[in-house]
Amino acid sequence: MTDISGPKTQTDYPDRFLSCQEAVEAAFASLADQAVAAGWGEAEVAAALVDVADCHMLSLNTNLETEKMIRDAASRSTIRKT
């Protein structure tokens, strides 16, 4: 498995997103190469990786929305009890 380096600092910095891309690039390429070596076509591997990434982002956003709704409901519940 390819090692992935962490961010330069834990705080935000101008090129943080680019640094993340650079950090995951080798692991991403390795995963794609493994899939092609297993018999999948390069184009279908690329499309599958895009779809998996898209589903992951949608899942993260849905989780954030759900957590916000839970916090809002809990806040309303606390207000009613007082």
pTM of the model: 0.73
Residues 6+ apart with CB under 8 A from 79: none
Q: Which residue has the tokens 């998996």?
A: 52
How does pLDDT run across 36-64, given as a tens digit for each residue? Answer: 999 999 999 999 999 999 999 999 999 98
Distance of CA 46 to the CA centre of its chain: 16
- Per-residue confidence band for 81, with pLDDT thresholds at 50, 70 and 90: low
What DSSP letter does each residue of 45-68 carry, written as one string? HHHHHHHHHHHHHHHHHHHHHHHH
When comparing pLDDT for 42 and 72, which is higher? 42
Mean pLDDT of 11-25: 96
Separation CA 23–CA 6 (nearest Å): 7
As a residue count, the chain comes to: 82
Domain assignments of the chain as residue spans, ordered by start: 16-81
- Asked if pLDDT for residue 79 goes beyond 80, the answer is no
